Amino acid sequence: MPVLVSGSIATDHLMHFPGSFSEQLLAEHLDKVSLSFLVDDLVVRRGGVAANIAFGMAQLGHAPVLVGAVGADFDDYRAWLTRNGVDCDSVHVSPIHHTARFVCTTDEQMCQIASFYAGAMSEARNIELAPAVERTAADLVLISADDPAAMTRHSQECRDKGYRFAADPSQQIARMDGAELMTLIEGASLLFTNDYEKSLLESKTGLTDAEVLGLVDVRVRTLGSHGVEITGRDIDTLRVAAAKEHAKLDPTGVGDGFRAGFLTARAWGLSWERSAQVGGLLATLVLETVGTQEYQVKKDDFAERLAESYGDDAAAEILPHLGELG
């Protein structure tokens, strides 16, 4: 069954600073920071949380349905996603705004300073999910980082109409207040956060760890190089290690890659552990690539990397689901 992937669609302008941000910041002058970093590289890539996740799912042979708002400049990006197996027929095109833009500089320690221009994304609040659900018979809606009003509208529509949904507030936790976050996550089948986002969500909502878990079925907490923790009402807490990396080139979109692999494996009917392993390896493929949609999943290579990280049994169980991938 398809998954609706709602959220931001953007272009990424990625730069590299050959030094350390922390060495340029003076603690006694943080109230008047005015810095310019001379970078030595610039690449322009396709991005946006929802588009990255949808691309990753399609790389694994799934059929994601992208839902978001873009500008009239989306034509080339649409063609790219469509060629790679993403259904873009439910994407809203703004007549007045450009597609959103992410501008990010990464230093030698993989720390990042970034800005995000919303542009057409501000119109995502006008999107209704029902037409896309009815058209595709999707059985899960992922609500990822987007215009905050769109995120809360989508979660409320899911509750009103009985759609199963996953809440993935990620960087928008910093923008949303406690009431908005409560509206977003209540009743979610899945809640995705990283370790810091978990603490920030609890701080903003005033909820304890147990109270957050009481609002959702399962929480998936990514822990960077330490892997992922999965816990919920009817499952024992599970920890899965990160996949072994062969290189570390760019962390942008790593979390999106994890979500793509995890949700695809769950759609295949795999266990929580196996799903986290598929997500972990896809995240590592993103880390090993500059750009969030520049990698390609090849069946034999993917199976070999699974065995390397998680053992032959994991690879043997996951391999049949990779189908006809190259």
With contact defined as beta carbons under 8 Å apart, do 107 and 17 qualify?
Answer: yes
- Both tokens of 322, joined, read 């990779």
**Cα 301 from Cα 260, distance rounded (Å):** 18
Does residue 147 carry a catalytic annotation? no
296 three-class SS: coil
- Amino acid making up residue 97: H
With contact defined as beta carbons under 8 Å apart, do 7 and 145 qualify?
Answer: yes
**Cα 279 from Cα 306, distance rounded (Å):** 11
- Mark out the alpha helices in the chain (DSSP H runs): 49-59, 75-83, 130-136, 148-161, 178-185, 195-205, 209-215, 254-267, 272-287, 299-310, 312-318
β-strand pairing of 100-106 with 112-117: antiparallel
Name the catalytic one among 89, 234, 256, 313: 256
Residues near 152 by beta carbon (within 8 Å), at least 6 away in sequence: 180, 183, 184
Residues tagged active-site: 256
